Homo-oligomer: A and B are copies of this chain.
């Protein structure tokens, strides 16, 4: 079967599982490994889409749960789809809404059919199922759409995780059947299985059998210690096909990106860079900076002396601190632009380092300079 989204493997690192590849979509190609900025409500918060594109971002993620509730997928469809609605002409990936509805706690109830839940906005009742999630995602029109799965919490006992992953695999079959727009959108499956190696294998077998154009690793970065996440990644990646992109969901701190790439991950997304920006925190070549700190009051140097983003080229730490303390919107705008630029450029350097067979050297350089993560 011909998929709307395809993967080319360009080069594999000689010493690690890191790989340089390309994901081709109806809205352009994505050089991998890639970090995908999150635009939850059809906007990367505090950014004009043209500025997200200018810095080199190739794909963004948007959230089905949020867009379903507001403005509603029918409106996005009538607008001509998400790309046109939000003025973003490159690739988009939508999640399934599964993670959000499962996070609602007491406000949701799971059955084999799907999940009944109440809106966090107005308390109204809704049902999200594999079919409904795919219907919504077909209306939104992202290039890559995600399976409706359950992301098991951490810690969770084996029995729960096993039943959950088996249902997730059954739901994936229903997602695949429900997907109506295969010529323009590609459905990715999601591996679950918690922190249990045999369950990860069981999950992988079930989803790989469906021959989807890409696979995600879900259920990580949910509160487990980082070494445990890396251990699960070590074997999980091996259970996935080499000729398909591998997407590690919800991960975005620099160390996790390096460790994920080293273990063979191609795609990442996380709200971290945009969220911490609005709270006055920046990632820089020399580690994290909390801009409100008094030591920046009279610091007229840029946020990051090695960065060539709009913020670092034009503004001082003293000005950024002033904006943050004054609750100015420009504070969120400038710090968001910097943080996204930082991760996008870091991923570019990671890609180059793989091409030049010096990924581990670049990783060491980065870690030495960044300090504590």
Chain A residues within 8 Å of B, Cβ to Cβ:
41-43, 45-48, 66, 70-71, 75, 78-80, 85-87, 297-298, 300, 310, 314-316, 318-319, 321-323, 325-326, 328-330, 332-333
Contacts and interface: CB of A to CB of B under 8 A. Distances in A.
Most buried by B among A75, A80, A310, A332: A75
Contact of A48 (B42, B85, B321, B333): B333
Given A71-B318, A318-B71, A326 B41 contact: yes
A-B pairs with the 5 shortest C-beta distances? Answer: A71-B322, A46-B329, A87-B314, A43-B330, A41-B326
Given A75-B318, A79-B318, 13 more contacts: A41-B322, A41-B328, A46-B330, A46-B333, A47-B330, A48-B330, A70-B322, A70-B325, A71-B297, A75-B297, A79-B319, A85-B319, A87-B315
A328 B45 contact: yes
A47 B332 CA distance: 11
A86 B319 contact: yes
Contacts of A315: 87
Contacts of A328: 41, 43, 45
Contacts of A45: 328-330
A369 to B, nearest CB: 27
Nearest to A322: B71
Contacts of A297: 71, 75
20 contacts: A41-B322, A41-B328, A43-B328, A43-B330, A45-B328, A45-B329, A46-B329, A46-B330, A47-B330, A48-B330, A70-B322, A71-B318, A71-B321, A71-B322, A75-B297, A79-B316, A85-B319, A86-B319, A87-B314, A329-B333
A69 to B, nearest CB: 10
Given A75-B297, A300-B78, A315-B87, A329 B332 contact: yes
B326 A329 contact: no
Contacts of A75: 297-298, 318, 322
Nearest to A310: B48
Contacts of A85: 316, 318-319
A39 to B, nearest CB: 10
Contacts of A41: 322-323, 326, 328
A309 to B, nearest CB: 12
A334 to B, nearest CB: 8
A308 to B, nearest CB: 15
A42 B298 CA distance: 16
A43 B333 CA distance: 12
A362 to B, nearest CB: 32
A84 to B, nearest CB: 9
Contacts of A79: 300, 316, 318-319
A66 B46 CA distance: 24
Nearest to A331: B43
Contact of A43 (B70, B78, B300, B323): B323
A114 to B, nearest CB: 25
A298 B78 contact: yes
A86 B314 CA distance: 8
Nearest to A69: B326
A315 B330 CA distance: 21
Contacts of A300: 78-80
Nearest to A316: B79
